[in-house]
Amino acid sequence: MNDNEKVETVLMMDAARYAREAGEQIVSLMEKPLHIQEKKNASDLVTEVDLLSERIVRERIAGDYPEHWIMSEETDGVLRSSHEAFRQPQKGYGWIIDPIDGTINFIHGLPHFAISIGIVRDGIPVCGVVYNPMTRELYSAQRGYGANLNGQIIRVNPESLLENAVLATGFQADDWRPNSPAVEQIGNLTGQSRSVRILGAASLDLCLVASGKLTGFWHEGLYPWDVAAGVLMIQEAGGKVTNRQGAPFSLSDKTLIASNGAIHDALLAIL
Ligand code: 2AM
Ligand code: CA
Ligand code: CA
Ligand code: CA
């Protein structure tokens, strides 16, 4: 391990610690009445628990690593420039945080939401964690050193036939018009795969591809905090993540197509 890699192992362990601490708080507040605020519309929500989780993680990072930059959904999401930030990435270490990914699931008590923390060096993801506090599943990965679920190595699914693949996707309420591209894609892929699921938390969906439970995942219009950790998870588990053109996925991309690798071309051909 070189010096950077040694640092990054420690960053990954610290990220896990912060995610667990935030997760404990989130779960303890679930039974209490929530104050739910609409952002753009009735499907775009934030609660005081999202804000609390974000505050916990940001404060821990600022305390331990004051020289690192931080980007997180509820602080930076309004800028709409989060993709642009990765066209000419900032130097040094940065933390990219979604304090609750899957807020609608959280609000409705569906146990599929997570804290996602991705860490980049000079704009490149180098380590990250995704923690589901309901199931206590902690996914972690470090560039070059594999991906783990609660300490066990994970690998993508070896399935090579699209017809046997289980896929997931998601889309925003704005995309739901008859015959819109998103609707057509779901229809096409439902016909050509075993099934298409909409689980509602992109970071965890990516981890399900990494751990072989899903064969692929695609999504339009995600943000860096949704994917910074999950993309590395898949790459380190032997899978593939690209943009629509089939080029390696960058945090400046808005379309993400992820798979075990073996079905990737078949998926790209349909999307
Ligand atoms: P969130 O719960 O943090 O908002 C669901 O398809 C995925 O898309 C979730 O990861 C969700 O993250 C994200 N998402 C849902 N609505 C969104 C919106 N209006 N803008 C950006 N991302 C959204
Ligand atoms: Ca949100
Ligand atoms: Ca999110
Ligand atoms: Ca969120």
CA of 200 to the centre of ligand 1 (A): 8
Q: How far is CA 166 from CA 38, 61, 198, 219, in A?
A: 32, 37, 11, 15
> Which of 110, 169, 226 for a ligand 1 pocket mutation test, highest count of atoms within 8 Å of Cβ?
226
Closest C-alpha residue for ligand 1 atom 14 = 172
Q: Which of 133, 153, 173 is the last residue of a domain?
A: 153
Q: Are residues 145 and 168 in the same domain?
A: no
Q: Could you tell me the CATH number of the domain that includes residue 40?
A: 3.30.540.10
Q: Looking at residue 249, which CATH number applies to its domain?
A: 3.40.190.80
7 with 121, same domain: the answer is: yes
Q: Tell me: do 28 and 149 sit in the same domain.
A: yes
Determine the average pLDDT of the residues in 16-25. Answer: 98
Q: What distance in Å separates the CA atoms of residue 165 and residue 104, rounded to the nearest whole number?
A: 26
Alpha helices in the chain (DSSP H): 3-29, 48-64, 73-76, 103-107, 181-192, 202-210, 224-236, 264-270
Answer yes or no: do 129 and 190 share one domain.
no
- Both 146 and 38 in one domain: the answer is yes
Q: Which residues are near ligand 3, the ion (C-beta closer than 5 Å)? A: 98, 101, 226
Q: Which of 161, 137, 167, 155 is nearest to 233 (CA)?
A: 155
Identify the CA nearest to 251 among candidates 216, 222, 271: 222
User: Range of 10's domain?
Assistant: 3-153
Indicate which atom in ligand 1 lies nearest the CA of residue 222. 22
**Domain endpoint, select from 129, 153, 177:** 153
Task: Evaluate if residue 170 carries a pLDDT over 90.
Answer: yes
Q: Which atom of ligand 1 is nearest to the CA of 169?
A: 6
Strand order in 240-242's β-sheet? 195-197, 166-170, 216-220, 255-259, 240-242
Q: What is the pLDDT of residues 71-102, one digit of tens each?
A: 999 998 876 688 888 888 889 999 999 999 99
Residue nearest atom 21 in ligand 1 by C-alpha distance: 222
137 and 180 share a domain?
Answer: no
Q: Counting ligands in written order, which one lies closest to the CA of residue 105?
A: 1
Does one domain contain both 107 and 225? no
Residues 35 and 108 in one domain: yes
- Whether 231 shows a pLDDT value over 90: the answer reads yes
Measured in angstroms, how far is the CA atom of residue 157 from the centroid of ligand 3?
24
End residue of a domain, out of 153, 183, 200:
153
Q: Domains in the chain: how many in total?
A: 2
pLDDT tens digits, one per residue of 246-256: 999 999 999 99
What average pLDDT does this structure show over 157-171?
A: 97
Conformation bin of residue 172: beta by default, left when phi > 0, alpha when psi is -120 to 50: beta
